[in-house]
Amino acid sequence: MAFRYLLLDLDNTLYPKSSGLLPAVDGKIDAYIQLKLGWDAQKLTVMRRQYWKEYGTTLSGMIVHHGTDPEEYIRMTYDLDVSRYISADARLEQTLHAIELPKIVFSNSPREYVERVLKVLGIDGLIEAVYDIRFCNYFGKPNPDSYRKVLSHLQASGEECIFVDDSRVNVIGAEAVGMTAVWLTDSPGDTAWSIAQIYDLPQCLEKIRQARLSA
C-alpha cells in the first residue's frame, strides 16, 4: 500500500528544541494556572506532569479537573511573538519540498499559533492542512480518538500515513492506529524509525520505502 500523507508535529519538530519557543509557551501556561488556581511552583510542576501523563496535554487535564474554558486558556497562553524565537529556515523548506507527499501538520497547539509558526519558518505554502487541538475537541495526541478523527477526515487508513513527532508517547499513539511513525530524537531506543533532526527525513523516508518494497 502506497503512502498518501505525511503528518508532521509542529513544536520541537519543525523548529529546533533549542529555539526556546516551547518553554516560552510553557511559561505562559504556568502563569495562567497560577493566576486561575493559585498553585505554588511545586504543585504546578507535579500537576502538569500528571496531566501530561494522563491526558497528553495540560489543557485536557485542566478541562477535566477544573472546568477550564479552553478558549480563554488558548487566548492567554499562545499570544506571543514567535519571531523572537524562530526565523525563516531555507533548509527546512528545501527538505519538505523534496518530499513528494501532501504535508499535514497535526499539532496539540491551536491553529492560529501553528499558522504563525509556519509563516515565520517560511513553509506555510508547503502545508496542505492543519489539524489542531480544537479539531480534536481539545484532547490531542496521544488520545487515540484524535488520530482516528484526523484519519477519518483525510479518508485515509493508518497504513497510508507517515507520522513524525519528537514525543515518544505520540509516536506510540500513531503506531497504535497503524501509521508508520518516525521519532525525532537523539536517543532512538527501541523505535523502528528515528531521525536526529528534521533535515534527515527524506533519507529516512527512502529507507522506509525500500523496506516496504523488500517486505
Does the structure show a pLDDT above 80 at 173?
A: yes
Q: Would you state the pLDDT for residue 162?
A: 98
My answer on whether 72 and 100 are in the same domain is: no
My answer on whether 94 and 195 are in the same domain is: yes
Q: Among 54, 77, 100, where does a domain finish?
A: 77
> Do the beta carbons of residue 8 and residue 161 sit within 8 Å?
no
Query: Is residue 179 in some structural domain?
Result: yes
My answer on whether 95 and 167 are in the same domain is: yes
What is the domain-level CATH number for residue 31? 1.10.150.450
My answer on whether 108 and 200 are in the same domain is: yes
Closest CA to 212 of 197, 192, 196, 185: 192
Rounded mean pLDDT, 65-83 = 96
Rounded mean pLDDT, 175-202 = 92
Query: Is residue 154 in some structural domain?
Result: yes
My answer on whether 28 and 11 are in the same domain is: no
Supply the pTM of this predicted model: 0.94
Local structure of 182: helix, strand or coil: strand
Task: Give CA torsion, residues 130, 12, 195, 215, to 10 deg.
Answer: -30
Rounded mean pLDDT, 90-95 = 98
Per the structure, the count of domains in the chain is 2
Does the structure show a pLDDT above 90 at 191?
A: no
My answer on whether 137 and 171 are in the same domain is: yes
- Average pLDDT of the chain to the nearest whole number: 95
Query: Is residue 82 in some structural domain?
Result: no
My answer on whether 61 and 150 are in the same domain is: no
Does the structure show a pLDDT above 80 at 159?
A: yes
Query: Is residue 142 in some structural domain?
Result: yes
My answer on whether 35 and 124 are in the same domain is: no
Rounded mean pLDDT, 49-61 = 90
Does the structure show a pLDDT above 80 at 97?
A: yes
My answer on whether 47 and 116 are in the same domain is: no
Enclosing domain of residue 29: 21-77
Q: Among 39, 57, 77, where does a domain finish?
A: 77
Q: Would you state the pLDDT for residue 194?
A: 96
What is the domain-level CATH number for residue 204? 3.40.50.1000
